[in-house]
Amino acid sequence: MSDVWIVVAVVGVFTWFLKAAGPVFLGRRALAPRLQPVVALLAPVMLAALVTTQTFGGDGEVTVDARLPGVAAAALAIWRGAPVVAAMVIAAVVTGAVRLLG
Amino acid sequence: MTAEQSPPARLRDGVRAALPLVLGPVFFGISFGVFAEAAGFSAAAAVTMSATTFAGSAQFAAASVLHAGGTLAAAIAAAVFLNARYAAMSVTVASIVPGGRLRRLLGSQLLVDESWALSGRSGRFQWPILAGAGLLLYVLWVSSTALGTVVGGLLEDPNALGLDAAFAALFLALAFPYLRERRALQAAALAAAITLVLTPVSPAGVPIVAASSACLLGLRR
C-alpha cells in the first residue's frame, strides 16, 4: 500500500472516531472543562502553522518569494471582508503575476 | 423565538439552510482535487479521502505535508490534530444524534464546521438541520473533489499559477474567524513562530505538529 493510501485510511478512521466521540462514546457527559480551551485552540493553531509553511516553506528552509505578496494581498482582502474564494483568487493572481515579472 | 413556536425542523430545512454556502465547499472541493493530484494522490485516493474523512482543512493538511516531502506520521498527525476540534463539536451534539450505536456512528459523520454551525443557529442544536446540511455538503464535497482531480490532471504546473499562495490564503481565511479572540490570536502567532524556527532544522511536517503545542496556551487562566 502506498504512503498516500495509508494516510487516507488512517486519517479517515481517526476522523470517524473524532466525529463520533460525543454521540457514540460520551453520550451526555461533557469534555473535561480544563481541556475545552485547549481543544478550542487546536484549529487556529494548526491553521496558522499551515499558513506559515505554505507561505514560507521550501526545501527545508524558510524562503521569502512571490508567495508572500500574494498571501499579504489576500490577508488584506480577508480583513476587509472578502469571501474565501476571492481571497484565493487574489493570492493566486498576485503571486502568479510577480513570478511572471520576476 | 422559542422552540415551541417554531415548527420542528425537517431534513429539507437543513438542505435549504446550507444552500447559500454551497459555493465555498464546491470551490474548496475542486481545489482539494487539484492539490491532491499535485501532492501525488491518485484520483481514486483523493475522492476516497473526501468520502471517508469529509473534513477539508485536515485533508489539505495531510496532502500539504506529503507534498512537502514530509513523513507519513507527520501527515497523519497534522490532519488528526486539525480534526481534534470535531471531538469537542461532537460532544455538543451528543444528545441529538438519533438511533442506535451504528446509526449514531454514521450520522455523526455528517458533522462538519458548516453543518454544525447551522444546526446550532437557533440556540439549541437540531438534528434535521445538521443532517440536511451535512448531506448536501457531503455530496458536493465528494463530487467537486472528483471534478478537481480531472482539472488537476490538465494543469502542467499548478504552482506556476500561484496556486501554492492560494492555499495559504485559504488556510488564512479559515483561521480568520478564530483570530478575533485574543487568546486564539496569541496561540496562532506562537504556532507560526514555532513553525518558522523549526522549518530549517527539522523534516517537513514536523514543524506543523510541533506548532500544535501552542494550543496549550489554553491551559493558562
pLDDT tens digits for range B162-197: 877 888 898 898 788 889 899 999 999 999 999 999
User: Which DSSP letter does residue A65 get?
Assistant: S
Phi, psi (degrees; rounded to nearest 5) at A62:
-90, 120
- Asked if A63 is an interface residue toward chain B (Cβ–Cβ < 8 A), one would say no
User: Which DSSP letter does residue A22 get?
Assistant: I
Per DSSP, the three-state class of A62 is strand
Task: Give per-residue pLDDT as tens, B108-127.
Answer: 999 998 888 788 777 678 99
Q: Tell me the ipTM for this assembly.
A: 0.84
Q: Provide mean pLDDT across the span B202-211.
A: 79
- Asked if B208 is an interface residue toward chain A (Cβ–Cβ < 8 A), one would say yes
| pLDDT at site B56 | 86
Q: Which residues of B touch A19 (CB under 8 A)?
A: 83, 86, 90, 108-109, 111
User: Which DSSP letter does residue A7 get?
Assistant: H
- Say what percent of chain B tops pLDDT 70: 93
Amino acid at position A71, single letter: V
pTM: predicted TM-score of the whole model, two decimal places:
0.74
**Buried/exposed code over B132-142 (b: 16+ C-beta within 10 A; e: otherwise):** bbbbbbbebbb
Task: Give dist(CA B108, CA A20) in Å, integer.
Answer: 5
| Grid cell at residue A8 | 487516507
Q: In this structure, are residues B144 and B30 in contact, taking their beta carbons and an 8 Å threshold?
A: yes
Q: Please, which pLDDT band fits residue B95 given cuts at 50, 70 and 90?
A: confident
Residue contact A3–B72, C-beta within 8 A: yes
Q: In this structure, are residues A40 and B86 in contact, taking their beta carbons and an 8 Å threshold?
A: no
- Is the confidence at residue B4, as pLDDT, over 60? no
Per DSSP, the three-state class of A57 is strand
Amino acid at position A70, single letter: G
Least confident of A11-20, A27-36, B6-15: A27-36
